[in-house]
Amino acid sequence: MRLLFAAGLLGAMALTESVKAEPKMPADFVRLRDVAPLAAEDMRYAGPHNFTGAAVDGYQAPVCWLRKDAAAALAKAGQELDTMGWRLVVYDCYRPTRAVAAFLDWAKLPDDPASKAEFYPRENKQDLFKRGYLAERSQHSTGTTVDAGALEKDGGALDFGTDYDFLDVRSATESAEVSAAAQATRRKLRAVFERAGFSNYRREWWHFSFKSDRRARASNAPVTENR
């Protein structure tokens, strides 16, 4: 009995130490909901609806975390979208470095036919990094980059020509392979984000990075519901 008690005590201590060692939200981060409560959060990597087909390591909750200055700028963009009759929606915000590593591991696995058909039908998985759709290091890990789009205020879809994370040349912001209406919608979204202080990544109409003079530090803290 004494041995069992000691073993249980050691196990509890190890669990406690593990919890203590798990990094928390960086001090200069906030939850987007606290500064832009009307924004929709469709955090794809916290669930199976993404190109990997499963929840990605590091996303323990479908919550948008961002650095404070980037979050404030994003809230500003959301306010302008509101005046246009649109609603801001975010698909990915801060991305732990462990999630970036998980993408590297995923790229070494055989294709899942369903995921390939939906997210990269014209691309080879092994080429996604060199083609610029995925990266070995990501600005998302600094909390200054966001994947975002917009919806009609009633939740209806807007025409952006492709869905989020469609890894294809048609997702390039200025792609001529999508309709004129989709091109116009992309231009409007980019203009709003640029006025708020973001720059767009040309290969992805949804990808915006906040321009700041502050040093950007990557983090590996997992995204959780609490701070």
Residues with catalytic function: 204
The CB-based long-range contact list for 136-139 (8 Å cut-off, 24+ gap) reads 136/100, 136/104, 137/100, 137/218, 138/95, 138/100, 139/209, 139/216
d(CA 87, CA 34): 16
What's the DSSP call for residue 99? H
d(CA 133, CA 130): 8
Please tell me whether residue 91 adopts helix, strand or coil conformation. Answer: strand
d(CA 227, CA 207): 25
Do 199 and 208 form a contact (C-beta atoms < 8 A)? yes
**185, two tokens:** 């919608």
Exposed, middle or buried: residue 20 (CB in 10 Å: 0-12, 13-18, 19+)? exposed
